[in-house]
Amino acid sequence: MNSMYYVGLDIHKKVIAICVKNKEGDIVEQKTIASSRGELGRWAASMDRPWLGAMEATLFTGWIYDFLKPYARELKVGHPLLIRAIAASKKKNDKVDAGKIADLLRCNLLPECYMAPQEIRDLRRALRWRNLIVRQSVRMQNKTHGLLMEVGVEYNKKRLKGKKYFRELLDNLSDVPRSIAPLLKLTRQGVDFFQSLQKGVKDQLVKHPLLKERVARLMSIGGVGEITALTWALEVGEPQRFSSISKAVSYCGLCSAQNSSAGKEYRGPISKQRNKHLQTVLIEAAKLAPHFNNELARLRDLELKRGNKNQATLAVARRLAGYLLSVDKSGGDFQSRPRESEKQSA
C-alpha cells in the first residue's frame, strides 16, 4: 500500500479534474483533461503504479466508472450530499475538489454509495425510459379530455380509451370547430404510439433472463404487479446491501425526517433523500394492493381508524417494502405470516 496512488476525480460534462496523491498526501499529478474515452485511456495508461480511484456520483459517473474499472485496483463512488458536508471549505474549484476526494479516499473517510452492476444499470435505464413514455401517454390522454371539454362535447370518460367508442364519438361530432377532429385524431395516435412503445419495453424486461425468475418471485406477493416488481429489482439491485427492513424503507423514502436534540424529537414529512422512482411506485402500489392482499387490507383498516388516509397508505407501502425485501433475500415465493397484533385485532 506504500506504493499505491490515490486518485480523486472531479467529473463535469466537458472536463475531468484529476488529482493523484501518494500515501503521505503529497500531490504526484494534478491536471484537467477532456471528458472523453480517448483522453481517459491515455491518462490511465500513463500511470506507473497501482491506484485506487474515487469520484462523486453524477449523471456522467456511470460510463467513466465502467471505462476506468479495468485500469484501477479499485474504484469507489462517493455520496454527493455527504461529500459536500465533509469537504466544505471557503476555497472551491475543480482542482481543490479532486484533491479533497483523493484525501477522503486516502484516509478511508469517503462516504461510499452503492454502484449497481453495469447490466442492472442498463436495464434500469430502459425501465426509466419506459416510465417517461407512460408520462407522455398520460399527457396526450389529458389533452384529449381537454379538447373535448373545451368545445363542450359530452362523453363517457371511462369508455374514452376504447377505440370503438372513440371512433363513434368522432363520427357524431357536431357544432364544433373544424380543427377539433384532426387534433383529436393526432392525440389518439400519440396515445396509441406511446402505449405500444411502453408495452414493448415492459415485455422485454419481464422476459429478460436476469429478471424473469426474480420478478416472478416478487409477484407472488399479493398486490405486487409487473411494474412494481421490475422497479424494485432494478432500483435496489442487490437486496443483500440492506441489513434490515428499516434501511430499505429509508432508502425508499417512506419514513419521516428526524430532528432530535436535548431530549426532544421532531418528526417532519417523509424524507426527500430517497430513491424517487421506488417511492412513487410503492406509494401507488399501496393504494391498490389492499384489494388483492388480506394482510395489507387489515393494516390499512387499522390505520384508517386513526383517521389519516395518507398515513394508512404509507403504512401499507412500508409493509410492502418489507415483503419485497424478505422475498428478494430469501429467493423463494412469499409466505403469509400475519403479525400477532393483527391476529388479536381481528
State the pLDDT confidence band at 2, using cuts at 50, 70 and 90: low
- What are the tens digits of pLDDT across the range 104-124? 999 999 999 999 999 999 999
Question: Residue 306 in 3-state DSSP?
Answer: coil
pLDDT at position 262 over 70:
no
pLDDT score at 256: 77
Helix (H) or strand (E) holding 10: strand 5-11
> Is it the case that residue 257 has pLDDT exceeding 90?
no
Mean pLDDT of all residues in 242-257: 90
> What homologous superfamily does CATH list for 5-106?
YqgF/RNase H-like domain (3.30.420.140)
Contact yes or no for 321/252 (Cβ under 8 A): yes
Percent of the chain with pLDDT over 70: 92
Q: What pLDDT does residue 17 have?
A: 96
Per-residue pLDDT reduced to its tens digit, 64-73: 999 999 999 9
Q: Which of 33-42, 171-180, 306-315 has the highest mean pLDDT?
A: 33-42
Task: Please state, as a whole number, how many other Cβ atoms lie within 10 Å of the Cβ of residue 285.
Answer: 25
The helix/strand/coil state of 162 is coil
Per-residue pLDDT tens digits for 290-322: 999 999 999 999 999 988 899 999 999 999 999
pLDDT band at residue 22 under the 50/70/90 scheme: very high
Q: Which residues contact 19 (CB under 8 A, 6 or more apart)?
A: 7, 8, 10, 27, 29, 30, 95, 98, 99, 101, 102
Distance CA 210, CA 272 (A): 31
Give the confidence band of 229 by pLDDT, cuts at 50, 70, 90. Answer: very high
DSSP 112: B
* Domain coordinates in residue numbering, the chain: 5-106, 119-206, 212-345
Contact 158, 216 (CB under 8 A): no
